[in-house]
Structure 1
Amino acid sequence: MTEPAPLAELTPVPRKTSPVLEQLERCRPFLEPVLEATPWEELSRQVASGHAQLWPGESAAMVTRVIGDTLEVWLGGGDLKELLQLQDGVAAFGRSMGCSRATIEGRAGWGRVLKTNGWAASFVTYERPL
């Protein structure tokens, strides 16, 4: 029977990085500024597990989640024109997942842009620090 190698001689098996996580990291400059309360590691876990979907562009990115019959546009950052170009493909994905509507939460300024693209306000969220 042979002796096991000393720990100093062992090297870890290289961990393969998934292509989606590589894309997520490439899109970090677009998404990290809009994360607010969500840590980057949590976003990475959500995307890696398939609970969130990454829609990368060249200079923008969007992240969605399917919640029941709703496609939630969770995050979007980067070039506005490119974000708007992503919405048809994202909508087709939502329909293929059985979603009957899409939602976005954002600052009031988004309303002006979204209204011209078929979106309508359905509720307003107010907050205050505690």
Structure 2
Amino acid sequence: MSPFDEQWARCEPWLAAALEHAHGTHLIEDIREGCLAGNLQFWPGKSAAIVTEICTYPRLKAVNFFLVGGDLEELLAMKPVIEAWAKRLGCTRAQCGGRFGWERVLKDYRRACVVLEKEI
């Protein structure tokens, strides 16, 4: 088993739990494939894991914290490391979406918009 596979197997439950709040956009297999293809970045911790993606817009580049799961304290400790990595890649913004509770925890972030959805 590869090091990626070992880390993925250990962290997959945290990511799968976070994916339940993504409103059906991906399956866990899609996330794994995206990480292996290099479209997504997998950040395994001891008791937590994060999946990011780099979003390139016409006027800026942003790191998007796409999936975040596991121990909250460890996740918050991982955040500045990932933000510094993204800054070295030329990102000038960090963004995330998720449950309303994240707004209370991420005090250095601001609400940028509201996302509304409906099935059609």
TM range (shorter): 0.7 to 0.9
Do 1:21 and 1:44's aligned partners in 2 also have CA atoms closer than 8 Å?
no
Q: What stretches of structure 1 move > 6 A for 4+ residues in a row?
A: none
Q: TM-score, normalised by structure 1?
A: 0.80
Q: After superposition, what is the alpha-carbon deviation per residue over 1:13-67, rounded to whole angstroms, capped at 9, x for unaligned?
A: xxxx442232122101111111132111111110101111111111111000011
User: Which residue number in structure 1 is paired with residue 50 of structure 2?
Assistant: 62
Q: What TM-score do the two structures reach when normalised by structure 2?
A: 0.86
Q: CA RMSD in A?
A: 1.3
Matched, 1:102 2:94: yes
Quick one: higher RCO (CA 8 Å, sep 6+), 1 or 2? 2
Count of matched residue positions in the alignment of Structure 1 and Structure 2: 112
Task: List runs of 5+ in structure 1 lacking aligned partners.
Answer: 1-16
Task: Answer whether contact 1:21 1:48 (CA < 8 A) is retained.
Answer: no
CA distance in 2, matches of 1:45, 1:80: 25
State the Cα deviation string for residues 92-113 of structure 1 (Å, max 9, x = none).
1101111000100011111011
What is the distance in 1 between the residues matched to 2:5 and 2:54? 19
Q: List gaps (5 residues or longer) in structure 2.
A: none
Structure with the greater alpha carbon radius of gyration = 1
Which residue of structure 2 aligns with residue 128 of structure 1? 118
Percent identity between the two aligned chains: 39
Alignment of structure 1 residues 1-130 onto 2, 5 Å: 17-36=1-20, 37=24, 38-68=26-56, 69-115=61-107, 118-130=108-120
